[in-house]
C-alpha cells in the first residue's frame, strides 16, 4: 500500500511540475529562484504528503505548498536584506525566461511584498476568484480583497509611470 501511494505521489508531482514552475516563476520573478522553490516544494510534498487527507486534493494542496515556499523564500530574502547579513543581490527578471520580457510588469510585481504578490498572481494569472484565493491561502476573503485592492493601486501607479516612460 505504501509503495502504491508513493508511486502515485511521484506521478502527481511529475504532472504538476510545469505548472508549479510557472507559478513559482511568476511569484519569484527569477528562473533560478523559481527552480529552487519548486525543488523545495517537491521535497516537502514528498515528505509531508501524509498530512494530505484527501488525495484528490493534491493539486491545490501542492500549489499551496509552492506558494508558501515562494512566500517564505521572499520573506527570508527581505528579512535578510533588512538584517544586512551578507546579502544576495535581489532577483530580477531573467532574460532566459520563456515568456516575453515585460520589464515594467516585473518591476510592478517586484514592488509588492510576498503576500501581496502571491494574491495578485493567483487572481490575475491563475484566474482564481477572491473566495478561491482565500480558501487556497487560508485567509479571510476580506483580507484577500484588501490585498488585491492595495496591490492594484500600487501596481497601477508603477505601471503608469514605467509604461509612460517607454
Partner 1 sequence: MDEREFEDRLNRRMHARFDSGVASPALRDRVAQTLRRNARPARPVRWRIPAAAAAVLVAFAVLALASGFAIAPAVGPSTSAAPTATSTAGPTAAPSATPSATPTLAGLAGTVPPLSTSIWTGLNVHALSGAPAAISNVITWMGGYVAIAAVEGPISETVWFSRDGRSWIQLPASTFGLDQVEMSVSAGAPCRDGVIVATYTPAGATAADDHKLWYSSDGTTWVDPTIDVIPTMLAGNSSGAIAADETGLRFTSDCKTWQPITLPGPAGATVNAIAASGSVFVAAGWSGSRDGGPAEQPIAWWSADGQQWTQATVPKVTGESLVSIDAGGGGLVGLANSDAVGGHSDLWTSPDGRTWSIASHNVDPLGLQSTGEGQGSPNGDFAGDGTRLEVFGNPTFAGTVPNQIWISTDGIHWKRLSIAGTGGTAAMTPGQTSAFLMRDGILFSGLNGTWFGDATP
C-alpha closest to that of 77 among 121, 39, 110, 42: 110
Shortest gap between Cβ of 59 and partner 1 (angstroms)?
15
From 92, 129, 131, 153, residue interacting with partner 1 (rule: CB under 8 A): 153
Q: How far is the CB of 19 from partner 1 (least distance, A)?
A: 9
User: Rounded to 5 degrees, what are φ and ψ at 154?
Assistant: -70, -45
Q: Closer CB to partner 1, residue 51 or residue 95?
A: 51
The two most distant CA atoms of the chain are separated, in Å, by: 60
Tell me if 114 contacts partner 1 by CB under 8 A: no
Does the footprint of partner 1 cover residue 45 (CB under 8 A)? yes
Question: Torsion-angle region of residue 127: left (phi > 0), alpha (psi -120 to 50) or beta?
Answer: left
Which residue has cell 501596481? 155
With CB under 8 A as the rule, give the number of residues binding partner 1.
85
Does 141 bind partner 1 (CB under 8 A)? Our answer is no
Amino acid at each position: 500500500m505504501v509503495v502504491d501511494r508513493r508511486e502515485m505521489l511521484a506521478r502527481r508531482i511529475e504532472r504538476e511540475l510545469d505548472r508549479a514552475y510557472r507559478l513559482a516563476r511568476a511569484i519569484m520573478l527569477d528562473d533560478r529562484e523559481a527552480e529552487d522553490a519548486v525543488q523545495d516544494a517537491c521535497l516537502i510534498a514528498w515528505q509531508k504528503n501524509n498530512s494530505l487527507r484527501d488525495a484528490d486534493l493534491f493539486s491545490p494542496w501542492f500549489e499551496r505548498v509552492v506558494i508558501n515556499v515562494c512566500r517564505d523564500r521572499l520573506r527570508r530574502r527581505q528579512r535578510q536584506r533588512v538584517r544586512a547579513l551578507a546579502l544576495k543581490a535581489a532577483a530580477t527578471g531573467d532574460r532566459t525566461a520563456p515568456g516575453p520580457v515585460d520589464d515594467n510588469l516585473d518591476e510592478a510585481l517586484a514592488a509588492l511584498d510576498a503576500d501581496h504578490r502571491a494574491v495578485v498572481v493567483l487572481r490575475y494569472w491563475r484566474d482564481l476568484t477572491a473566495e478561491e484565493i482565500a480558501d487556497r491561502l487560508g485567509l479571510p476573503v476580506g483580507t484577500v480583497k484588501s490585498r488585491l485592492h492595495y496591490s492594484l493601486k500600487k501596481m497601477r501607479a508603477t505601471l503608469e509611470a514605467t509604461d509612460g516612460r517607454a
